């Protein structure tokens, strides 16, 4: 059961990181380079999961994705399957909940790139997309990598949102942290301890990797 | 085909407006300096010419090509203007080597390596291919940035305060090198600077700006020796600017009282007119004792108020009935034994005194 939960947790963390990278990079670049008056509203909204209890986020995600919710209803009509209590459901909840953990470091990374380097690239005849790939991404890389690693590590330990949206279905939505909860409920402390220690070690290793790579990648 | 760059520019800010209109020839090495104190809007104009900012009201034409016309909503992006921009702090890519920086804007083909190698040799950068930009001195960084801009054979070079990131000693050496490199590149250039020496060394035309407006434009030597008003005289760094009164005019030479001295100068201002006289420090000759017969119309006896070094030269402040500044070499200081409190004679030719009508 533990390997099933571990595999599910890894899959969830991987796909959450992939989606957050694909969606978060354009969003973060837009926020970091455009100074519109109302940008702060978007930044505040994106940062809500940092301060809200996961159960609150999970509750609203469940409402939105349920068969009677605006998104869940449309999905149900199109596919005939509900989103809550499925892997897709916990993936959507996980993406929304981890948005600030990926996007905030992405924004910091992009904001640290000197605007003049971008302008220098343009005036050397290089298009905006190629400038983004060859100048912006390499220089913002420490921030991008931190965002990806944080999103991955944070999803590994995700509990509240996954429980609210996915419930506790072994092999479908039961991640490692939910398994720990399940084992404690069953007074199976030894098993809970093994899983918890594994998660703790993994999280510590990821953070060590982030901080040591940040030191190595520090701009000159 | 018109061989000019023509710039009409206007940008409004809440508390000020920048306006400028000038033209620059575009054949061979023709350099125009946009000259003025910090914050007068010259860098904004340079960035508009490069296409890096979109002005509210502007028309910028390169020969028969329109680059910016706000009336028609036309804005050619910087990539298609084929200009070379030298940024104030060079904006070298820190994650690339010297070779990668220089070749960055070139197409990936067989000629790329050859072109980069040739320009590195010409800019005395051979052997530095794999160095990172932070391992270079200020002067080397500037050469890399200039090589990167020039290697694409741009149609126009734009230089934003090209020497300001260097320390004083390096600046003097690099100023000479930069001029030689620009002449060798044989491209028209527009240079933003607030340093009179930089403008004189690099440009043949100068556009003097203050408070967002052009105050005077013309050949460098004309503008620097004959400023149209006091503001321009101060901006271009004329060392001695004093108020005086025209006492008499005989055979086209006016006698002007300045402080307790009377100067002879060439002017059309009438007798009784209050004027401002401008004297550049390098036009003042110093003499020990009696200079004898001389063509200089102004022989002024005075005392040395202070002497201090300025690069390889010495700046001497004199009291000749009004404060007068002279610039002399170290050898001249030793030969004349100049020290504070010593009496000295200053010689100034009448045409070297520029007279501006007072307001």
Tens-place pLDDT, residues B60-72: 999 999 999 999 9
> What pLDDT shows up at residue A190?
93
Q: Do the bridges between strand B205-210 and strand B189-193 make them parallel or antiparallel, or are there none, so unpaired?
A: unpaired
- B37 and B77, same domain (yes or no): yes
For residue B298, the tally of other CB atoms under 10 A from its CB is 21
- Select from B333, B274, B291, B286 the least CA-distant residue to B308: B333
pLDDT digits (tens, 9 = 90+) for A143-185: 999 999 999 999 998 888 888 888 888 888 888 888 899 899 9
CA distance A32 to chain B (A): 18
Question: Over B232-247, what HEC string results?
Answer: HHHHCCCCEEEEEEEE
How high does pLDDT run on average in chain A?
89
How far is the C-alpha of A94 from the C-alpha of A106, rounded, in Å? Answer: 18
Q: Which residues in B lie closer than 8 A to residue A134 (C-beta atoms)?
A: 104
Would you call B107 an interface residue with chain A, using a CB distance cutoff of 8 Å? no
User: B2 by DSSP, 3-state: which?
Assistant: coil
> What pLDDT shows up at residue B343?
92
CB-nearest partner of A124 from B80, B134, B148 = B148
Residue contact B104–A121, C-beta within 8 A: yes
pLDDT over threshold 80, residue A218: no
Buried b vs exposed e over B166-183: b needs ≥16 C-beta within 10 Å?
Answer: beeeebeebbeebbebbe
How far is the C-alpha of B49 from the C-alpha of B4, rounded, in Å? Answer: 13
How far is the C-alpha of A142 from the C-alpha of A145, rounded, in Å? Answer: 5
CB A99 within 8 A of CB A20: yes
- Select from A25, A32, A153, A42 the least CA-distant residue to A94: A153
How far is the C-alpha of B30 from the C-alpha of B88, rounded, in Å? Answer: 20
Residue contact A116–B87, C-beta within 8 A: yes
- B117 and B33, same domain (yes or no): yes
Would you call B50 an interface residue with chain A, using a CB distance cutoff of 8 Å? yes
How far is the C-alpha of A193 from the C-alpha of A188, rounded, in Å? Answer: 9
pLDDT digits (tens, 9 = 90+) for B141-195: 988 999 999 999 899 999 998 888 777 777 777 787 788 888 888 889 999 998 8
Would you call B75 an interface residue with chain A, using a CB distance cutoff of 8 Å? no
Residue A220's pLDDT band, with cuts at 50, 70 and 90, is very low
Would you call B287 an interface residue with chain A, using a CB distance cutoff of 8 Å? no
Q: Residue B95: which domain range?
A: 4-232
Range with lowest mean pLDDT among A5-9, A209-213, B20-24, B166-170: B166-170
CATH number at residue B85: 3.40.50.300
In sequence order, the 6+-apart residues with CB closer than 8 A to the CB of B13 are none
How high does pLDDT run on average in chain B?
90
Those residues of chain A whose CB sits closer than 8 Å to some CB in chain B are 114, 116-117, 119-127, 134-135, 138-139, 219-220
CA distance B182 to chain A (A): 18
- B176 and B275, same domain (yes or no): no
Residue contact A125–B93, C-beta within 8 A: no
Percent of chain B with pLDDT over 70: 99
Domain boundary among B232, B247, B266: B232
- B207 and B83, same domain (yes or no): yes
> What pLDDT shows up at residue B166?
79
CB B88 within 8 A of CB A114: no
Strand order in the sheet with B261-266: B261-266, B253-258, B240-250, B274-279, B354-357
List, as own/partner pairs, every contact residues B264-267 make where C-beta atoms lie below 8 angstroms and the sequence separation is at least 24, other chains included.
B264/B297, B264/B298, B264/B350, B264/B353, B265/B350, B265/B351, B265/B353, B265/B354, B265/B355, B266/B350, B266/B351, B266/B353, B266/B355, B267/B355
- B182 and B261, same domain (yes or no): no
- B73 and B115, same domain (yes or no): yes
CB B193 within 8 A of CB B209: no
Complete domains list, chain A, with CATH: 2-32+53-72+80-217 (1.10.3720.10)
Number of domains in chain B: 2
Q: Which residues in B lie closer than 8 A to residue A138 (C-beta atoms)?
A: 95
> What pLDDT shows up at residue A71?
85
Mean predicted confidence (pLDDT) in B38-57: 89
- Phi and psi of B309, rounded to 5°? -75, 150
List, as own/partner pairs, every contact residues B304-307 make where C-beta atoms lie below 8 angstroms and the sequence separation is at least 24, other chains included.
B304/B338, B304/B339, B304/B340, B304/B341, B304/B342, B304/B343, B304/B344, B305/B340, B306/B340, B307/B333, B307/B338, B307/B339, B307/B340
> What pLDDT shows up at residue B1?
61
Mutation choice for A interface testing from B52, B107, B149 by most A CBs within 10 A: B52
Count CA within 13 A, CB hemisphere, residue A137: 10
pLDDT over threshold 90, residue A104: yes
- B220 and B252, same domain (yes or no): no
Residue in the block written with tokens 């060079």: B90
Residue contact B93–A119, C-beta within 8 A: no
Mutation choice for B interface testing from A112, A113, A125, A135 by most B CBs within 10 A: A125
Residue A39's pLDDT band, with cuts at 50, 70 and 90, is confident
Would you call B94 an interface residue with chain A, using a CB distance cutoff of 8 Å? yes
Residue contact B79–A220, C-beta within 8 A: no
Residue contact A119–B78, C-beta within 8 A: yes
CB B347 within 8 A of CB B296: yes
CATH number at residue B311: 2.40.50.100
Q: Partners of B261 in the beta sheet?
A: B258
User: B117 by DSSP, 3-state: which?
Assistant: helix
How far is the C-alpha of A123 from the C-alpha of B83, rounded, in Å? Answer: 7
Mutation choice for A interface testing from B48, B85, B88, B160 by most A CBs within 10 A: B85
Mean predicted confidence (pLDDT) in A123-140: 95
> What pLDDT shows up at residue B307?
94
CA distance B29 to chain A (A): 20
ipTM of predicted complex: 0.81
In sequence order, the 6+-apart residues with CB closer than 8 A to the CB of B187 are B28, B29, B84, B150, B153, B154, B155, B156, B157
Domain boundary among B187, B210, B232: B232
- B109 and B194, same domain (yes or no): yes
Q: Which residue of A has its CA nearest to B153?
A: A124
Residue contact A219–B91, C-beta within 8 A: no
- Select from B29, B134, B32, B47 the least CA-distant residue to B88: B47
- B64 and B163, same domain (yes or no): yes
Domain boundary among B180, B198, B232: B232
In sequence order, the 6+-apart residues with CB closer than 8 A to the CB of A109 are A28, A140, A141, A142, A143, A144, A146, A147
Q: Which residue of A has its CA nearest to B104?
A: A124
Token digits of residue B306 = 């202070």
Q: Which residues in A lie closer than 8 A to residue B141 (C-beta atoms)?
A: none
Q: Which residues in A lie closer than 8 A to residue B132 (C-beta atoms)?
A: 220
> What pLDDT shows up at residue A18?
97
pLDDT over threshold 50, residue A206: yes
- B218 and B259, same domain (yes or no): no
- B36 and B165, same domain (yes or no): yes
- B157 and B280, same domain (yes or no): no
Residue contact B105–A126, C-beta within 8 A: yes
How far is the C-alpha of A24 from the C-alpha of A28, rounded, in Å? Answer: 6
CB B64 within 8 A of CB B2: yes
Residue contact B152–A123, C-beta within 8 A: no
Q: Partners of B74 in the beta sheet?
A: B69
**B174 alpha carbon, distance to own chain's centre:** 15
Range with lowest mean pLDDT among A42-56, A74-88, B160-174, B221-235: B160-174
> What pLDDT shows up at residue B99?
94
């Amino acid at each position: 059961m533990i390997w099933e939960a571990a595999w599910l947790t890894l899959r969830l963390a991987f796909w959450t990181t992939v989606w957050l990278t694909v969606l978060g990079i354009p969003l973060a670049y837009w926020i970091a380079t455009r100074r519109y008056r109302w940008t702060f509203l978007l930044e505040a909204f994106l940062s809500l999961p940092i301060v809200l209890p996961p159960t609150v986020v999970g509750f609203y995600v469940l409402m939105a994705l349920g068969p009677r919710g605006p998104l869940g209803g449309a999905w149900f009509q199109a596919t005939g399957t509900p989103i809550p209590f499925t892997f897709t459901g916990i993936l959507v909840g996980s993406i929304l909940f981890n948005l600030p953990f990926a996007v905030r470091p992405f924004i910091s990374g992009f904001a640290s790139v000197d605007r003049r380097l971008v302008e220098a690239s343009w005036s050397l005849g290089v298009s905006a997309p190629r400038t983004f790939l060859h100048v912006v991404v390499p220089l913002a890389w420490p921030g991008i990598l931190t965002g990806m690693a944080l999103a991955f590590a944070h999803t590994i330990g995700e509990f509240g949102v996954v429980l609210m949206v996915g419930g506790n279905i072994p092999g479908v939505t039961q991640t490692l942290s939910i398994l720990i909860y399940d084992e404690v409920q069953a007074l199976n402390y030894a098993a809970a301890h093994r899983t918890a220690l594994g998660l703790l070690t993994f999280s510590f290793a990821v953070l060590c990797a982030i901080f040591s790579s940040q030191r190595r990648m520090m701009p000159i | 085909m018109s061989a000019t760059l023509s710039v009409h520019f206007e940008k409004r800010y809440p508390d000020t407006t920048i306006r400028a209109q000038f033209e620059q020839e575009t054949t061979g090495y023709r350099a125009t300096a946009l000259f003025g104190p910090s914050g007068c809007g010259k860098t904004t104009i340079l960035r508009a010419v490069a296409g890096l900012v979109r002005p509210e009201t502007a028309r910028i034409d390169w020969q028969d090509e329109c680059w910016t016309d706000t009336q028609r909503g036309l804005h050619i992006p910087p990539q298609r203007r084929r200009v070379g921009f030298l940024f104030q702090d060079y904006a070298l890519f820190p994650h690339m080597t010297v070779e990668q920086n220089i070749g960055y804007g070139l197409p990936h083909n067989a000629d790329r390596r050859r072109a980069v190698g040739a320009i590195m040799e010409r800019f005395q950068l051979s052997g530095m291919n794999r160095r990172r930009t932070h391992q270079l001195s200020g002067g080397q960084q500037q050469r890399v940035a200039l090589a990167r801009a020039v290697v694409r054979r741009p149609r126009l070079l734009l230089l934003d305060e090209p020497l300001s990131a260097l320390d004083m000693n390096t600046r003097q050496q690099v100023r000479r090198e930069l001029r030689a490199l620009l002449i060798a590149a044989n491209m028209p250039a527009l240079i933003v600077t607030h340093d009179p020496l930089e403008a004189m060394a690099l440009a043949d035309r100068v556009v003097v700006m203050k408070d967002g407006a052009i105050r005077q434009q013309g050949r460098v030597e004309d503008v620097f020796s004959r400023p149209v008003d006091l503001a321009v005289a101060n901006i271009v760094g004329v060392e001695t600017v004093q108020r005086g009164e025209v006492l008499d005019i005989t055979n086209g030479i006016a006698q002007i009282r300045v402080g307790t001295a009377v100067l002879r100068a060439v002017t059309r201002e009438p007798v009784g007119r209050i004027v401002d006289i401008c004297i550049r420090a390098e036009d003042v000759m110093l003499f020990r004792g009696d200079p004898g017969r001389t063509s200089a119309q102004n022989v002024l006896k005075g005392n040395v108020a202070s002497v201090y070094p300025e690069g390889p030269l010495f700046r001497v402040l004199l009291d000749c009935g009004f404060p007068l500044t002279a610039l002399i070499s170290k050898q001249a200081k030793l030969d004349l034994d100049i020290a504070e409190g010593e009496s000295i004679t200053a010689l100034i030719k009448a045409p070297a005194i520029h007279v501006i009508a007072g307001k």
